[in-house]
């Protein structure tokens, strides 16, 4: 019996290796992308895509097959094409479902999961001078206030990790 956190799988009984995977975003990727948590969001999705062998859809290593096959001057629909399109759209749906509402407009023009992934990476992963200054300012001005020691230390570690990931010394 499938648990709520399991992905919904659509089994192709004629070719079991061609099973579609639908990600339950609320259960498997609960962190929604905001303007400040791209690296955590990306880690969450990359590990999920690697686990389900779907990373090739977003990194381009599993490109879309041709829509038709030609053999002996006969053109027929390519079943792999249909399967690829369906799986890619399920991945795109999962990505869209994990975005905060203000970010969805950034990828509104994306037709594939790879296009959406690339737009998000170009928007949030590239360190701007302003973003580096913002993180340094947040780190410098962090106060404990009403936070527990654990929460306070976690906030410092998060900002230090963000700086380390985007590259400045």
Q: Could you tell me the residue ranges of all domains in the chain?
A: 8-124, 129-166
Q: Which residue has the higher pLDDT, 83 or 7?
A: 83
Q: What is the pLDDT of residues 9-52, one digit of tens each?
A: 555 545 545 789 999 998 998 889 987 788 889 999 999 999 99
* Contact status, residue 99 vs residue 33, Cβ threshold 8 Å: yes
Q: What is the pLDDT of residues 105-152, one digit of tens each?
A: 999 999 999 999 999 998 887 777 777 888 888 888 888 888 899 988
pLDDT for position 167: 66
pLDDT for position 2: 44
* Contact status, residue 127 vs residue 168, Cβ threshold 8 Å: yes
- The whole-model pTM stands at 0.72
Alpha helices by DSSP H, the chain = 25-28, 38-51, 55-59, 79-97, 101-104, 113-124, 129-140, 149-166
In angstroms, rounded to a whole number, what is the distance separating the alpha carbons of residues 156 and 167?
17
167 burial type by CB count under 10 A (0-12 exposed, 13-18 middle, 19+ buried): exposed
């Amino acid at each position: 019996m499938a648990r709520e956190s399991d992905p919904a799988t659509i089994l192709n009984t004629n070719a079991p290796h061609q099973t579609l995977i639908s990600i339950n975003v609320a259960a498997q990727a609960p962190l929604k992308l905001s303007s400040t948590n791209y690296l955590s969001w990306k880690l969450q999705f990359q590990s999920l895509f690697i686990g389900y062998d779907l990373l090739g859809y977003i990194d381009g290593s599993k490109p879309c097959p041709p829509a038709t096959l030609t053999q002996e001057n006969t053109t027929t629909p390519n079943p792999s094409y249909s399967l690829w399109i369906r799986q890619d759209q399920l991945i795109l749906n999962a990505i869209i479902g994990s975005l905060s509402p203000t970010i969805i407009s950034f990828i509104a023009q994306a037709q594939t999961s790879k296009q959406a992934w690339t737009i998000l990476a170009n928007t949030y992963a590239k360190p701007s001078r302003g973003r580096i200054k913002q993180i340094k300012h947040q780190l410098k001005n962090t106060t404990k206030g009403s936070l527990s020691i654990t929460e306070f230390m976690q906030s410092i570690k998060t900002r230090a990790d963000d700086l380390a990931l985007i590259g400045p010394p």
